[in-house]
Amino acid sequence: ACLKRYKYKGKFEMVYTGPSQVIVRRLSNNERITMRSDNAYEITKINVYNDRYIVAMTASTLLLGDLGHRNKLISEIEWQTTGHEKFFFDNPGVAMVFNAGELTIVEYGHKEPLGLCRTDHVSSHLISVRIDDRDDDPAPKVESLGDEPAAAPAPEELNRKANKKIAFLIDLQTVHIQDLLTNQQVAMISHDSRIDWLELNPSATKLLFRDKRRSLNLFDIATQTRTTLLTLCSYVQWVPRSDVVVAQSRADLCVWYNIDATEKVTMFPIKGDIIDIERTDGKTEIVVDEGLQTTYVALDEALIAFGSAVERRRFERAMDILETLPPSPEAEAMWTTLAHLTLQARRLHIAERCFAALGDVARARYLHKINQIVLYAESKLDVVPGGDYYVVKAKLEILEKNFSQAEQTYLEQGQVEDAMEFWQELHKWEQAIHVAENSGHPEVANLRTNYYQWLIETRQEERAALLKEKEGDPLEAINLYLKGGLPARAALLVQTHNLTSQSELVERIAEALYATNLFEKAGFFFEKLDKNERALDAYRRGHAYRAAVELCRRTQPQLVITLELEWADWLVSIGQLDQAINHFIEAGQYTRAIEAAIESKQWNKAVTIVDNLEPAEAKKFYKQIARHYEATLNYEQAEKYFVKGGLPEECVDMYTKANMWDAAHKIAVSFMAEKDVAMLYMSQAQRLEMQGKYRDAEKLYIVVGQEDQAINMYKKAHKFDDMIRLVTTYHKDLLAETHLHLAQQLEAEGNYKEAEKHYNDGGDWHSSVNMYRAIDQWQEALRVAKQYGGQQASTQVACVWARSVGGEAGINLLMKFGLLEAAVEYSMEIGQFKRAEEICRASLKKKLPDVFLKHAMVLEDEGKFHEAEQEFIKAGSPKDAVDMFIHQQDWENAKRVAESFSPGSVADIWEAQGRLQAQAKNYRGAEELFVRAGKPEEAVKMYRELQMMTDAARVARDHMTDKTANELGNLSKDLTGVQIAVQNGEYVKAIEGLLKKTKDNTSNLDELEEAWEQAVKLAFNHVPERVAEIVRLVAKRFIDIRRFQQSAELYEAIEDYPAAIDAYVQGEMWEQARALSASKAPEFLDNIAELKLAALVARNEWDRVFELARAQGQDVLGKFLAKYATQLVKDDQIAKALAVFVKHGPIAIAENFALYTELARTVLQMSGDSDELEEPYQLLRKMMFKLVANLHEADAPVAHIKEFERFAMIAHLHVLKEVAKINQLGPIVAKITTSLIRYLGTCRPTKLTTRPAWPARRPASATWPSSSSTATSTSPRPWRTTTPACSRTRTSRTATCRTTSRCPSSSTSTRTGASLSAAGCCSLR
């Protein structure tokens, strides 16, 4: 019977036998486990994890069970369910429950949690739990190896305590190892990289962990040491149920059979990746995935079994395993491990075998003797076990080098002789004598005698002397020390026992000391013997100068100074400079005393000595002392010694570094020339600039009036705020342009926020908007437009944004910003009229008619006239619908719409029909319709155009005002004679009547044109013989009234093409003239171009002249360039003439060479201030560079090339000299001036004199070129010369960078001109 039964996932059956008991049965093999609450709580929920682990919940407890465990253990712990628990079953024997940052470890079969830990890293790779429970299972089952039967556990295994540990991460780089039995920290491992895997070995004595750098590390818990096994590890795992490690590094399989010997690693090459380790049926295999196939690598099961045997303390089994292995490094390491373990466990026969296997014969024989003693003790002395026999214990202590413990063991048993014997065997006689003395042994005296004899025989005189010294025999001890080559010890003994009265003995010691280089002690003994010369020699050789000086003061005072100097030199040689100072002073060597004091940092002594010397002798030390005071910030003393040493520049530099500008200026003005001060400040400023100390450099630049240099410095350093600050202070008129220049530079560098700031500060926020538009940052563009341009500007940007997005998204974007009208307009623009209508109906009803109207127009263009009609009517504009039908000549629909919706438009229909009748020459019908429409003036106009003046007068008389009728009547009379003549066939008379009208008697030029054209028509139709005459007359009259096109057309009609071309030219209709000439009279083409150029020259439109001349060829361009330059030279505008040639290029034609020479000589003979001449020389230099390059390309005569190269070199040297002056390069200025002397015949001598190298301060009103400046601009500001001219095109706008000064030789050839150009380019930079 059961309360409830159901199947779980088709794999398990849940049988509720009671509210607190559930039987879980696996359907596949009928395996079952009973989940029962010992507290009789009702089981409310039950789950199965990994098809093995059972989790059941009650109101107050949690039940955990392992269906795969042989004992089917379950645990019930107190637990308040939250519904957020996570369960982990990756570690055998325990379940882990994670909730709210706390991990609870539950061991199956226990009623309380095994432990708790706080961690946020609960991955199965980051937590390792090992349960080795020996206390609870005193007779554990021992697994067999292979097919062998299971053996009984070893005694040591039975006595082992339970071992339960967990390793987890407390952060990504720190491993915490905790003992779950004591809840104490076992180890804390801090790593320098993120850890991604860790695992304890089965016995929880070692931890493997790997970090993100794929470095594999082993941590020994017992010794708290860490070892790196691999630096690149892709796989690692403990072999199940063993301490063997398997890892992969690149293409190598690495196996550590004995993890205690990490250097002993077995490696196999593999071709794939390790995916698993399988250990079944007595064999262990590594599964390797090679891509297309899976291979298996078998491990040495014997080596694996050895580890398990050692772990279980089954030493005999471990030895048997090793006996079967061939010699190898792994086997050797295992024999060593087993030897130490068995020795510690006092399993001596096994230890003997291990040392024998290792080839350690000494230990093996020693252990063999001990084992014999053990057998003797057990068989003869009934000491069981034999290891407790005191002899065995003592010998083992001796083996382990615990000699004191071995002695204690013997003495505890009263075996004094044995204790003395083992000390003697170790040749430790002192310890043996000590034991004998303490024990009152009767052979102590003999033992000492034997010991003394042995020391003498073995030539250990020192120890023998010590023995005699202890026995109170100093003379014998002294003899032994001297015999053993230890005179110092003998000397000490003499002094201790006051034996200096024995001269022979003292002399022997003195000679021995001298021979062994113990000179000071030898000197002492020689002095005792009154051998002062020998004593002094010994003192000097032993550098015992104090004793030597004292000796000389008593016996030879004249040598004291020599000894003091020698003493000082020796102290210097050994680096004791501070002690040498006083000895140099005693020797009278003051200069060397100062050097020693300075080198040893004894500055006070150095200053004291220097102040007492003559200035000439002390001068060389002033700089060093001043530098010391500078380093210690004692600027006043530093200044004193800098000035004393004649180094004011150094003093200024010191104050500059310390930002003490006033003090620096005071020193500079007081001790330096004005020119030197300026040069010093400039060099200091440049040095500070290179060091990044821009504020300090700025102050120096400002002091010498070089504000532009400071501005340029900040620009190069990209410190634009400081640059703007200086421009605001010193060049406020250029502030806006500077902002824009910086904005363009920052924009090109991609620093858009800073670029925006400068655009806005420069008052050009439109460029900010365009910049953001170009990089698709529309939100920023919208923000800037709204902030600086208001709502209208932001609306425009939003519309452009919408167009870039397109479609419905664009409409939604405008709606998002609340721009309803813009959304409607954009909807109509992209043809979404329904969407526009929806928006209008919802929020913008006033805009609805416009939507209908535009929709109607679109439908009309598409030919959907009836649909368009409906939209026009909806828009309240039926007249447009009528006009649409009129345009289509759909009279019925037009009348229908007009009569229904716009009665006033009916007249427009009649008028349109009238025009149609007029075109069909149904003039009477047209007249009737015009009159019906109420527009008789249209009928009159029609008749007047047809020269039907009578009908026009009639209509006017019948339907118009009297005034209009009278005017038309008079006109009719004037034309009646012509009409009558035409009707009578008198065409010549009619023509003459028409030609009587001239500009003298008629002011209406249109009437004149009409009459004259009528005369020409009559001539062509009826008087062909007079056509040419009449056409020429009329054409001439047209020219008189400036109707040039009509005149030219008449000439073309009679094929008088030259006259027609002349008419076009007079009217400056150059394209028509050129087209006619090209098709009918090619011989006049050149004349047209010349006439056009002449006309432009007459109007002084030189830019157009050069543009047209360039199209005609280089010769023509050169001709007009020379003409304009000649005119400028006459007007004394030399610079402008040079600028023209620089801009358009000096053409290499012989006709211009004289002008070029004249220009060059004129400039080179000019006099004036350097600032005034700077621009002409710059322009001349550029012009000559271009001319030389052009001459080379044109293969001009060598003589001309050399002449102009000479001019180019002179101009270049002048420019280079000015640049050197500005940059304070005095020596270069002198060299260039010297070079210019060779050209005295070409340029004025006054130009060759050297002026002061310090440039005059630029006037505050000076400006630098704007973005549209050409080559004729004045010299640009320093901070405006670094940006190359460039242009770039963007979507929706074009931005052109500022034009700055360029190298004039960018397009020169590689000949002589090119080399000059290259040099010029470098100098300008």
pLDDT, one tens digit per residue, over 794-803 is 787 888 888 7
pLDDT at 1105 over 80: no
Does 910 or 1285 have the greater pLDDT score? 910
> pLDDT-derived band of residue 129, with 50, 70 and 90 as boundaries?
very high
Q: What is the mean pLDDT of the chain?
A: 77
- Is the pLDDT at 460 greater than 70, yes or no? no
Name the token pair of 173. 């780089």
The SS3 call for residue 17 is strand
Q: What is the pLDDT of residues 634-649, one digit of tens each?
A: 888 888 888 888 888 8
Residue-wise pLDDT for 1113-1137, tens only, equals 777 788 888 888 888 888 888 888 8
pLDDT digits (tens, 9 = 90+) for 599-624: 888 888 888 888 877 777 777 788 88
Across 1255-1272, average pLDDT: 33
Q: Lowest mean pLDDT of 2-11, 530-539, 883-892, name the range.
A: 530-539
Specify the pLDDT at position 470: 67
- The per-residue DSSP string of 1310-1323 comes to SSHHHHHHHHHHHH
Q: What is the mean pLDDT of residues 1248-1257?
A: 36
> d(Cα 1000, Cα 100) in Å, to the nearest integer?
112
Residues forming a β-bridge with 176: 168, 188
pLDDT of residue 1209: 87
Residue 168 has pLDDT above 90, yes or no: yes
The pair of structure tokens assigned to 744 is 């363009």
Write out pLDDT tens, residues 985-994. 777 777 777 7
Instruction: Report pLDDT for 920.
Output: 83
Quote the percentage of the chain above a pLDDT of 90. Answer: 11
Across the chain, which distance is largest between two alpha carbons, in Å? 188
Contact between 136 and 93 under an 8 Å Cβ cutoff? The reply is no
Measured CA to CA, the distance from residue 96 to residue 101 in angstroms comes to 12
pLDDT in the model for residue 206: 92
Q: In this model, does residue 754 exceed pLDDT 50? A: yes
**How far apart, in Å, do the first and last CA atoms of the chain sit?**
105
Q: Give residue 1258's pLDDT.
A: 35
Q: What band does 1274 get if pLDDT is binned at 50, 70 and 90?
A: very low
Query: Averaged over 1183-1187, what is the pLDDT?
Result: 86
The whole-number average pLDDT for the span 1248-1264 is 35
Mean pLDDT of 933-949: 79
In this predicted structure, what is the pLDDT of residue 1244?
A: 52
CA–CA separation, 414 and 286 (whole Å): 61
What are the angstrom distances between the C-alpha of 1192 and each of 204, 1182, 1196, 1202, 1308?
A: 90, 16, 6, 11, 9
Q: Express each pLDDT in 675-705 by its tens digit.
A: 677 777 788 788 888 888 888 888 878 877 7
Partners of 22 in beta bridges: 16, 35
Choice between 813 and 171, residue whose per-residue pLDDT is larger? 171
Residue 1059 pLDDT > 70: yes
As a whole number, mean pLDDT of residues 1-26 equals: 88
Alpha helices in 213-326 (DSSP H): 301-311, 315-323
Is the pLDDT score of 893 beyond 80? yes
Q: Give per-residue pLDDT as tens, 230-242.
A: 999 999 999 988 8
Closest CA to 1031 of 1001, 1005, 1055: 1055
- Residue 152 pLDDT more than 80? no
Token pair 């004289």 in the structure block, residue: 1154
Task: Return the pLDDT at 448.
Answer: 67
Q: How far is C-alpha 157 from the geometric centre of its chain's CA atoms?
A: 62
Q: Sheet containing 86-88: give its strands across.
A: 86-88, 94-99, 102-107, 115-118
At 461 the pLDDT is 64
The pLDDT of residue 515: 66
- 972 and 984 Cβ atoms separated by less than 8 Å: no
Q: pLDDT, tens digit, for every residue of 783-796?
A: 888 888 887 787 87
- Asked if residue 202 has pLDDT above 60, the reply is yes
Q: Would you state the pLDDT for residue 208?
A: 95
Do the Cβ atoms of 406 and 397 come closer than 8 Å?
yes
CA distance 306 to 352: 18
Contact 684, 713 (CB under 8 A): no
Kindly indicate the confidence band of residue 144, based on its pLDDT and cuts at 50, 70 and 90. very low
The reported pLDDT for the residue numbered 1202 is 83
Q: Does the reported pTM lie above 0.85?
A: no
Rg (CA), the chain: 59
pLDDT at res. 141: 36
Query: pLDDT tens, 280-316?
Result: 877 889 999 988 889 999 888 887 878 778 777 888 8
Query: What pLDDT score was predicted for residue 1062?
Result: 77
pLDDT at 1251 over 50: no
pLDDT band at 1252 (very low <50, low <70, confident <90, very high): very low
pLDDT of residue 979: 67
Residue 1271 has pLDDT above 50, yes or no: no
The residues with which 195 forms a beta bridge, in sequence order, are: 211
Pairing state between β 12-18 and 21-26: antiparallel
Euclidean distance between CA atoms 830 and 828, whole angstroms: 5
Contact 107, 132 (CB under 8 A): no
H/E element holding 174? strand 174-179
Residue 764: predicted pLDDT: 84
* Of 455 and 592, the one with more pLDDT: 592
- Which pLDDT belongs to residue 471? 63
The answer, yes or no, to whether residue 1278 has pLDDT greater than 70, is no
Q: What is the mean pLDDT of residues 389-403?
A: 84
